[in-house]
Amino acid sequence: MTDSAPLSAHITTRMPSLQPIEQRVAQAILEDMDFVLHATADQLAAKVGTSRTSVIRTAKALGYDGYQQLRVALTQEIAQRPTRRRVPIPPTSAA
């Protein structure tokens, strides 16, 4: 897939055209991207209550060659998220 849109936007756009089980898998991806980033297709399937094949089919329905390529796109999206910087708060003087 060569779309430059973030994975989350791409999934949201494609959601209406997916089959019901594919929609469940896609929704699980949107709801817990950090889990999916580290999960195998089998682990995501278990979380959704479907088969590994359905997870792979969902990735393909979204335009990816497979689940691994979807995870690569997810990694890229997460890497582009703004990070929260901790700003130290100076100690207050006791008066």
d(CA 40, CA 38): 7
Phi-psi region of 63 (alpha: psi -120 to 50; beta: other; left: phi over 0): left
Amino acid at position 5, single letter:
A
Q: What is the pLDDT of residues 6-21, one digit of tens each?
A: 888 989 999 999 999 9
How far apart CA 23 and CA 38 sit, in angstroms, is 20
Residue pair 21/50 in contact by the 8 Å Cβ criterion: yes
Please say whether the dihedral angle defined by the alpha carbons of residues 24, 29, 35 and 40, taken in this order, is positive or negative. positive
Domains and CATH numbers, the chain: 7-79 (1.10.10.10)
Q: pTM (2 decimals)?
A: 0.79
Q: For 43-83, what is each residue's pLDDT tens digit?
A: 999 999 999 999 999 999 999 999 999 999 999 888 877 66
